[in-house]
């Protein structure tokens, strides 16, 4: 099967560095990602576009990019570049997307979107012809959230997905809507039931790591996030997936790293995972 992978840039944002790096001392992580005076660091919102046999498939970490951006109230307002603009640069629009794979359903909304939803003005769902694919166990978590992560799930968004008639829940490592060459790893460390797709490529598989391994600095087993629901589980899941990719010559795709989109990994004599063969962006990568 002919298949290619490209990177798409969503709307970048800032998140609290202390939360992102959990128990890692600021002395260390501030050298990796420079914080501003409010302790915020720049985080990417990188999506993966998989093109195969005339079909366009998006892979997203989180559900915030599913909502249409707020309309500008006047022409003097700057237009914030996001996922739709990135798609347009590749000659694609909303109607050209056949499926959207959601690793999980957390939504870190902008202040504008949050205010609109609070005012009862729910933005429309993007990609009106696409099936929305996510894990069945994670969907149950999203519909019945724990108080610890309730604020990360937007209830009106869940209702829109459910009412679309195009929601596909999977509880296995395959999905008929995507065809051969797709394999799913279920992860419970960051969020119960997070779905991590592995895409078969000629030069070895590519795994979209979602928020289990958001960037290169989280390749270290001891680096976890305060967002993780089960940090001990995160460590074991990272080790199993990374060992699999080392053995298979596969690649890691990062959703949050502001500088690096994809790497290969090896394990050195100290059992550390070392990235190499870096890509900062991809355009129809088919190796």
Question: For 13-45, how does the pLDDT look when each residue is reduced to its tens digit (9 = 90+)?
Answer: 899 999 999 999 999 999 999 999 999 999 999
Mean pLDDT of 227-255: 97
Note whether 252 and 207 are within 8 A (CB).
Answer: yes
How many structural domains is the chain composed of?
Answer: 1
Per-residue model confidence (pLDDT) at position 123: 83
Structure tokens at 125: 């769902």
Q: What is the mean pLDDT of residues 5-14?
A: 93
Q: How far is CA 111 from CA 20, 118, 183, 205, in A?
A: 20, 10, 36, 37
The CA angle 279-190-85, to the nearest 5 degrees, is 45
Q: Is residue 287 part of a domain?
A: no
Average pLDDT for 64-83: 75
Residue 161 pLDDT grade (very low, low, confident, very high; cuts 50, 70, 90): very high
Instruction: Tell me what pLDDT residue 206 has.
Output: 98
Q: What is the pLDDT of residue 78?
A: 62
Looking at the domain assignment, is residue 286 inside a domain? no
**CATH, residue 35:** 3.60.15.10
Task: Supply the pLDDT for residue 114.
Answer: 78
Do 58 and 130 meet the contact criterion of CB atoms below 8 Å apart?
yes
What is residue 79's predicted lDDT score, i.e. its pLDDT? Answer: 63
The answer to whether position 86 is within a domain reads: yes
Higher-pLDDT residue of 206 and 286 is 206
State the DSSP H helix or E strand holding residue 115, giving kind and residue range, or none if neither.
Answer: helix 111-118
Distance of alpha carbon 282 from alpha carbon 261, whole angstroms? 8
- Give kind and range of the element (H or E) at residue 287: none
| Full DSSP string of 159-178 | HHHHHTS-EEEE-SS--TTT
Which pLDDT score is estimated for 70?
76
Predicted local confidence at residue 110, as pLDDT: 76
Q: Which residue range forms the structural domain that includes residue 155? A: 3-71+79-279
Residue 261 lies in a domain: yes
User: Is 21 contained in some domain?
Assistant: yes
In a domain, 19, yes or no: yes
Main-chain phi, psi angles of 9, to 5 degrees: -95, 120
Does residue 70 contact residue 176 with C-beta atoms inside 8 Å? no
State which H helix or E strand residue 23 sits in: none
pLDDT above 90: residue 76: no
107-152: pLDDT as tens digits: 987 777 777 777 778 888 999 999 999 999 999 999 999 998 888 9
Q: Is residue 285 part of a domain?
A: no
pTM: 0.94
Neighbours of 285 (CB within 10 A): 20
Question: Each residue of 167-199: pLDDT tens digit?
Answer: 999 998 999 999 999 999 999 999 999 999 999
Question: What is the C-alpha separation between 120 and 246, in angstroms, rounded?
Answer: 48
Q: What would you measure as the largest C-alpha separation in the chain, in angstroms?
A: 58
């Amino acid at each position: 099967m002919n298949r290619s992978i490209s990177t798409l840039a969503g709307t970048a944002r800032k998140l609290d560095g202390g939360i992102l790096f959990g128990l890692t001392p600021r002395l260390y992580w501030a050298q990796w990602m420079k914080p501003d005076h409010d302790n915020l660091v720049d985080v990417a919102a990188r999506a993966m576009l998989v093109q195969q046999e005339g079909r366009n498939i998006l892979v997203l970490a989180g559900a915030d990019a599913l909502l249409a951006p707020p309309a500008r109230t006047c022409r003097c307002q700057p237009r914030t570049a996001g996922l739709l603009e990135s798609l347009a640069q590749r000659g694609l629009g909303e109607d050209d997307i056949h499926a959207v794979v959601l690793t999980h359903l957390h939504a870190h909304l902008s202040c504008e979107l949050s205010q609109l939803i609070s005012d009862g003005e729910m933005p429309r769902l993007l990609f009106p012809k696409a099936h929305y694919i996510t894990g069945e166990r994670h969907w149950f978590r999203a519909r019945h959230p724990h108080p610890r992560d309730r604020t990360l799930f937007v209830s009106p968004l869940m209702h829109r997905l459910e009412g679309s008639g195009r929601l596909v829940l999977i509880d296995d490592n395959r999905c008929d809507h995507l065809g051969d060459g797709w394999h799913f790893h279920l992860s419970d460390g960051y969020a119960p039931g997070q779905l991590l797709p592995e895409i078969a490529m000629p030069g070895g598989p590519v795994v979209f790591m979602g928020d289990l391994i958001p960037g290169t600095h989280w390749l270290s087993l001891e680096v976890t996030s305060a967002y993780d629901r089960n940090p001990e589980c995160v460590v074991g899941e990272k080790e199993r997936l990374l060992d699999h990719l080392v053995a298979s010559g596969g690649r890691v795709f990062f959703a949050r790293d502001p500088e690096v989109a994809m790497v290969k990994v090896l394990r050195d004599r100290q059992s550390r995972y070392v990235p190499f063969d870096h890509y900062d962006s991809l355009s129809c990568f088919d190796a």
